[in-house]
Structures are given as structure tokens and as C-alpha cells.
């Protein structure tokens, strides 16, 4: 075997390891899962595809014997699963949040199919944590939970019968992630010019923004949600870095200060 062939063989042998490194930055987040068997089946689907980080937001029953039985050898995924009391807690340190959705909503949001979303996730996995959200078995993610996402991920399916089991959906996304990781594992990606802030800091920005808009009487307190949903979409699309977030928070603080009643001459 010549030197180039040996080098190519080493690169091929190294791909699974590099892919695993990227996949370690991905967390699968199940929200308010009702059936413990679905948690176990999800763990099995994850392990087959090399995913290891499972977050459970307020599961109805966990731990549970049925979850362990359905995991079929992926017990380690369940043992290391993090149970979170809120979605905000589950998204801490995540620079990219993808939400799975089977249907379109009244407010348009950036959307992509599973393959495109997985490719984007693997490109960014070397820079920050990635979260992929899966909602309740019966009705998926709520509108408020979708507002925490940078984009929605859709699995194209038969329009006459589009019902996917939770673990099946995780399996499909996991497969696309693994294929994308193997395809991008040989790439040396330069760090981007920006490091997007995590979902927790973005949520604090939205709270500050809403309070400021109320203080300056721009936001109608009787109907705040529609405007805030559009502003969330704007900033989720922009994905500001820490410096940009600091500028935005400074502008909001200055606007709040200007909105305060100024003392009259007689009060001085």
C-alpha cells in the first residue's frame, strides 16, 4: 500500500470517531412525554445512531420499568438522562435550537426538512451545543415552545397518513444527523466570526424587550403576543452574539431610562 492509500485509509477509519465527537454536542429534548415506553424506545433509537444525550422536560413517568424494557440495551442513555423542570433549563448553553413539527402554524417560521437541518446542525456542532425538541405524543410542541426555536424541522410524510410515533421521529432525525456527521467529519471548519448566545440569554433578552416596549408604550398590554412572536422570529433569525446582545440590552436600558418621568424644576 502506498503512502497516499494508507493516509486515505486512516482518514476513513477516523471518520466514525470524528462523527461521534460532533454528535456529542447534540441533545435530544423530549417535552412532557406521557408514555414511559416512548422514552425507552427513544433511547434505543438514539444509541443506534450514536446520540447519547437525552433531556426530559417534565416527563409524566420517569424512571419507569417500561422505559427500561423498551430501551433494549440502551439503559446507559436512560441512566444519564437529565430530567429538567423547564424547557429553559434544558436549553442552557445551546446556540442552535431546532423544533420538530408535523404541521404548519399560523405564524410562518423558518423551516427545513430533516436532511437540511441535520447538515446545518453538524456544521455548527463544533462551535456550540445543539438541541432538537420533540413535543408531546398527542399534539407536539406548543406555539410558545416553538418561539424558542431558531427554525422548525419537518419530516415529509404521506399527507393522507402523517402520524409518526415519537421514537420513529427521533430515529429519522438521528439517522440524518449521523449521515451528516459522517459527511462533515473530514472537514476542518474555521471558527465563524460570531458565537451565538445560548437560548437562556435570548429568553432574557425577550423578557427585557417586552418590558421596555411596555414602558415606552409601544406594546399594547392587552395584545402583546403577536408582536412579540414576530420580534422573536426576527432575533432568532439574526442569532446575535454576545457583543450584539450587550448592545441590544444597553439600548433597551437607555430607552427605559428615557421613558421614566423627568422631575420638574419645582421638584429639584
Q: What are the residue boundaries of the structural domains of the chain, listed by start?
A: 11-184, 199-259
Taking the whole predicted model, whether its pTM rises above 0.85 is answered as: no
DSSP 8-state secondary structure symbol assigned to residue 196: B
Instruction: Read off the pLDDT band of 194 (50, 70, 90).
Output: confident
State yes or no: pLDDT of 210 exceeds 90. yes
- Candidate CATH numbers 3.40.50.720, 3.30.1960.10, 3.40.1280.10, 3.30.930.10; the one for domain 11-184: 3.40.1280.10
State yes or no: pLDDT of 186 exceeds 80. no
Distance between CA atoms of 132 and 55, rounded to whole angstroms?
A: 10
pLDDT over 90 percentage in the chain: 69
What does the mean pLDDT of the chain come to? Answer: 88
C-alpha cell at position 164: 409518526
Instruction: Read off the pLDDT band of 2 (50, 70, 90).
Output: low
- What pLDDT is attached to residue 13? 56
- What pLDDT is attached to residue 106? 56
- Residue 181's alpha-carbon distances to 16, 47, 201, 203, in angstroms, are 9, 15, 28, 29
Q: What share of the chain is helix, strand, coil (3-state, %, to 5)?
A: 50, 15, 35
pLDDT tens per residue, range 58-101 = 999 999 999 999 999 999 999 999 999 999 999 999 999 999 98
State yes or no: pLDDT of 214 exceeds 90. yes
- Candidate CATH numbers 1.10.10.10, 1.10.10.60, 1.10.8.590, 3.40.630.10; the one for domain 199-259: 1.10.8.590
State yes or no: pLDDT of 110 exceeds 80. yes
pLDDT tens per residue, range 128-170 = 999 999 999 998 999 899 999 999 998 888 888 888 899 999 9
Amino acid at each position: 500500500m502506498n503512502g497516499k492509500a494508507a493516509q486515505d485509509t486512516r482518514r476513513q477509519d477516523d471518520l466514525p470517531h470524528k462523527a461521534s465527537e460532533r454528535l456529542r454536542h447534540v441533545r435530544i429534548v423530549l417535552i412532557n412525554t406521557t408514555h414511559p415506553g416512548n422514552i425507552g424506545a427513544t433511547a434505543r433509537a438514539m444509541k443506534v445512531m450514536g446520540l447519547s444525550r437525552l433531556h426530559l422536560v417534565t416527563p409524566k413517568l420517569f424512571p419507569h420499568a417500561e422505559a427500561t424494557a423498551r430501551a433494549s440495551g440502551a439503559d446507559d442513555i436512560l441512566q444519564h438522562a437529565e430530567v429538567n423542570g423547564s424547557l429553559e433549563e434544558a436549553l442552557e448553553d445551546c446556540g442552535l435550537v431546532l423544533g420538530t413539527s408535523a404541521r404548519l402554524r399560523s405564524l410562518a417560521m423558518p423551516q427545513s426538512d430533516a436532511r437540511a437541518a441535520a447538515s446545518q446542525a453538524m456544521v455548527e456542532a463544533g462551535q456550540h451545543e445543539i438541541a432538537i425538541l420533540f413535543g408531546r405524543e398527542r399534539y407536539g410542541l406548543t406555539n410558545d415552545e416553538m418561539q424558542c426555536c431558531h427554525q422548525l424541522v419537518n419530516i415529509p410524510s404521506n399527507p393522507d397518513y402523517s402520524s409518526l410515533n415519537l421514537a420513529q421521529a427521533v430515529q429519522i432525525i438521528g439517522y440524518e444527523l449521523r449521515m451528516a456527521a459522517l459527511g462533515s467529519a473530514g472537514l476542518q471548519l474555521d471558527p465563524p466570526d460570531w458565537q451565538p448566545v445560548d437560548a437562556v440569554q435570548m429568553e432574557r433578552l425577550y423578557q427585557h424587550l417586552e418590558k421596555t416596549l411596555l414602558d415606552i408604550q409601544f406594546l399594547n398590554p392587552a395584545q402583546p403576543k403577536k408582536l412579540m412572536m414576530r420580534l422573536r422570529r426576527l432575533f432568532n433569525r439574526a442569532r446575535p452574539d454576545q457583543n450584539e446582545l450587550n448592545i441590544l440590552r444597553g439600548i433597551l436600558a437607555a430607552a427605559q431610562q428615557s421613558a421614566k418621568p423627568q422631575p420638574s424644576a419645582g421638584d429639584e
